[in-house]
Structure 1
Amino acid sequence: MPRGRAVSQRATSGTLEARRSPAPQARRPAASWRVLVVENNVGERENLAAGLRRHGHEVEAAGTGSAALQAYQMSDIVLLDLELPDLDGLEVCRSIRSLSEVPLIAVTGWGTELDRVLGLQAGADDYLVKPYGFRELMARMDAVMRRASPQTATAQVLSCGPLCIDATSREVSLDGRAVEVTRKEFDLLYLLASHPDAVIPRKRIMQQVWGGSWSRRTVDTHVSSLRGKLGSSDWIVTVRGVGFRFGNC
């Protein structure tokens, strides 16, 4: 039986400690991070997001795997619930890790040794089982961020010759002049530029930028539009039969 079916039959357990008690008196982190909270349960998602914001972090929340695949690129750290309504959480974890080194903590009700092993093998930097204490979560986040490369949490501007891509402001400039791009065009360009030495398959582009709905025409149309706005087809190179890679660097 596929793992996605097997795990869906398991009962989830517990709620966050932050939901049952006042805001914990954990020490404030030395830095403010952009945290992506991917949580299936609406109540737990809202309470966790509120607790993180009280500690000075910026939080984006998502309730599905598809939404997580579209949002993780702008995050410093991801808290990923493995029990998702649309996609297998382990596959979401693998997809994020295959294209990014963003620190990721798997958060789930699955607590067996095998579950932990599978989560870590899928690319999670740490594994936290529900129910857990908010102080423990904050400590684990601190530990994961300490181990992360400094570039992981701070490199938000990608530069390649005259081209500059700012992930924070979501702005693109070429030779110092602003290039107007749509949200999906930005996500596509940022994805390719983040992996200048890699060929990104079409299917993975659809999964990361559009959440998995497959359409060859959609990818090709956005690539063509970006090439036109950047003034050259050399910025995005087609690898026939596979996908695309970032060029000119």
Structure 2
Amino acid sequence: MENLKGKIALVTGGNSGIGYATAAELKAQGAEVIITGRRKEAIEKAAAELGVTGLLADQGKVSDIEELAAQVGLRYGKIDILFINAGVLEMTLIENATENAFDNVIGVNFKGAYFTLSRFIPLLNDGASVVFLSSNTAGMSAANSSMYSSSKAALNSIMKTAAIELAPSKIRVNSVSPGPIQTEILNKAGYTEEQLTQIHHWMIDRIPLKKIGQPGDIGKMVAYFSGEAANFITGAEIIMDGGMSLKQ
């Protein structure tokens, strides 16, 4: 079903995982899709596979965000869907935290997401949809997750304020907060195979539905938020974690 036919969508961090799956879903529903990423080879490969436009941009750099907005504005004029998805993960106890790790997580997940929204607001059509990728950890208190969880909690706060500020233009702003999703983000965090196996079992044990989510699950929710069926929804956070947060 081409529910999004005629719409132009931008997905940050679209070369893998949730971003990739969401770009595929948005395209399948008729949207013209642009994906971004900070690795040239990865973004070119993903764009070719998906049949979408790929643009190089690092969400951790405001200068890249501004250049991206300028490129999109020149090429497309306005967009209808903005999925602010790019993010990084650092796991550490508070007492072992480093400034570099803190700056990396907050710089991409919070500051980068904030300025992506800020710089793209002039390019959003009236009635556009903005979706932040948050996390169920935004409302949880697990050891080692202070940087990541706080960056996602900050996103949910931005989302609600933006929903109020952009309502006069009928622009809707929402967030999706997944639990464990089958992506490469944990592999990139530097865990060993044994540690990854332990984490997998730990997560499954805490999820009532006893399964890990798939990137496409999130893609479908982003597409829903971006379509006509959600035209009266703004300022909402949807938690998609198989019931994991219910057991906290």
Q: Report the TM-score when normalising by structure 2.
A: 0.39
Q: Which has the higher helix share?
A: 2
- Structure of larger gyration radius: 1
Q: Report the TM-score when normalising by structure 1.
A: 0.39
